[in-house]
Amino acid sequence: MRTFLTLLRRELGSFFCSLSGYVIIAAATFLTGLSFVVLIRNLEGEATAKPLTELFYSTQSFWLIVMLAAPVITMRLFALEKYSGTYETLMTTPVSDLSVVAAKFAAAQIFYLVMWLPMIACLFVVQHYARQSGALQPATVGGMYLGIALVGALFLALGCFASALTRSQMVAAMITFLFGVSLYSVGFLAEHIPAAAQWQSQVLSHFALFRQMHDFARGVVDTRAVVFYVTATFFFLFLTLRAVESRRWR
């Protein structure tokens, strides 16, 4: 446990003690603020019964942040260390491969969640200007933040795996981004499958990120979605661990 905490502090320092980490947070905050400016303008003179979280997740900026954040955050985790030569030094120290993978993923997840904190402040600002006391409920805010955390965990786990496979940060980022876009697009196929192919539609519905986030944004936590995200996250972390261990087989 002490080894894990030491590695975790090291990884968190690489995020919060570098300019690149704050650039990522600033960019995400800018896009979040831009989305809420659009929401405020749309709510002027027009009432809506939808919670603010549901309105926010429907914006293009929200999904742009989700798709771009994971590749940018994870591309350096293993690839940069391999490129700079510090990876072999790290792996020759008395630390387990599991501790390295767990610490890098945990640090990325913590940074990812911190990056989304300005969203909560923006929600209260929009509620104030919208003058809708019931537009923002703790259940909807908590549900949406849980959805963001689960989607982020899946993409970050994939990003860890991609970064462990290559020395190039750009290659790792592109793999993660393309997977995210593909997964986002697969969900829409379920809506265009004929009614006769019911089981295919049910299978694809588990990959429907847009539909699942719609439930989370309304404060509805579907255990099937939670199980899917947790299982997929651990699957890619397992692949990452195997990729890290493979250096011993060469």
**Does position 108 have pLDDT exceeding 90, yes or no?**
yes
Determine how many CB atoms are found less than 10 A away from the CB of residue 191. 12
Q: Greater confidence, 119 or 93?
A: 119
User: Looking at residues 233-237, what average pLDDT do you find?
Assistant: 94
The pLDDT value recorded for residue 236 is 94
- The pLDDT tens digits of the residues spanning 198-213 come to 666 666 666 677 777 7
Q: Residue range 77-91: average pLDDT?
A: 75
Enter the tokens of residue 73: 């955050």
Q: How high is the pLDDT of residue 203?
A: 65
Q: What is the tens place of the pLDDT at every residue in 26-75?
A: 998 888 888 777 777 766 666 566 666 666 766 777 888 888 999 999 98
Question: Is the alpha carbon torsion for 215, 218, 223, 229 positive or negative?
Answer: positive
Range 220-236 average pLDDT = 88
One-letter amino acid for residue 77 of the chain: L
| C-alpha distances in Å from residue 107, one per residue of 50, 95, 101, 143, 189 | 34, 17, 10, 22, 34
Residue 99 confidence (pLDDT) = 87
Q: What percent of the chain has pLDDT over 70?
A: 76
- For 147-160, what is each residue's pLDDT tens digit? 889 989 999 999 99
Predicted local confidence at residue 7, as pLDDT: 86
Helical H runs in the chain? 2-16, 19-43, 52-57, 60-74, 79-84, 86-91, 97-115, 117-130, 138-165, 169-189, 198-205, 209-217, 223-245
Mean pLDDT of the 205-228 span: 77
| Contact of 104 with 95, CB cutoff 8 Å | no
